[in-house]
Amino acid sequence: MLSIIQAAGWPIWPLVLCSILALAFIVERFISLRRSRIYSRGLVDEAIRVSATAVPGPEVIAQLEQYNLLGQILAAGWRTVHAKPNCSIDEMRANVEAAGRAAAHQMQRYLPALGSIASGAPLLGLFGTVIGMIEIFGSQAPAGALTGGNPAELAHGISVALYNTAFGLIIAIPTLFFWQYFRARVSGYVIELETDAERFARHLETLCPVRGRT
């Protein structure tokens, strides 16, 4: 691998950096988007049961918030009703929706960077190809005849062009696949979170004495 990097010349170093970043983002997203850290089936049922007649205290709310992202959304509704017993339904729903948006933003973390790497790596590879072509033409004799050029410089220019093109594609293709995979996974989580958050909000409406806006 080191010999390939050396043969590809300096234009490959941005691609090496992109490959390291892409691998780090992919591993981080696999860890952060584990289902247990996002969603738990039955958690909303337990939260509804616990708050059937009244919202629990701050300790229970804090425990729910630390559970996972769904717990953070449910805890936002509990905290609103607990902190302001006379809150309106609109105020409670606004806080639950804000927590949902924060959870969606957290799940989408680093995905734009992965998409940028997937689209930018081929361009960086093309840039290295252009640099290699420049070195090829620069190695030729003033007359421009290929036979009059420096064979070593000619071979180096060709290696720079081909290695950078290949390396850019090697980075871009799997990164694109993982980017699409994570986007689909986040979309599925968002639907599940929205469904449970709406169900929990309807339950909390029974605990909000004010029906209209404050």
Domain boundaries, the chain: 11-205
Helix or strand or coil: residue 146?
Answer: helix
pLDDT at 153 over 80: no
Gap between the Cα atoms of 96 and 200, Å rounded: 9
| CA angle, 21 then 27 then 29, to 5° | 100
pTM exceeds 0.85 for this model: no
Check residues 70 and 2 and name the one with the higher pLDDT: 70
pLDDT at 147 over 60: no
| Least confident residue range of 33-47, 83-97, 149-163, 185-199 | 149-163
Confidence of residue 210 (pLDDT cuts 50, 70, 90): low
Of the candidates 11, 17, 190, 200, the residue with the CA atom closest to the CA atom of residue 108: 190
Determine the average pLDDT of the residues in 38-63.
Answer: 89
Helix then strand then coil, in percent of the chain rounded to 5, is 80, 0, 20
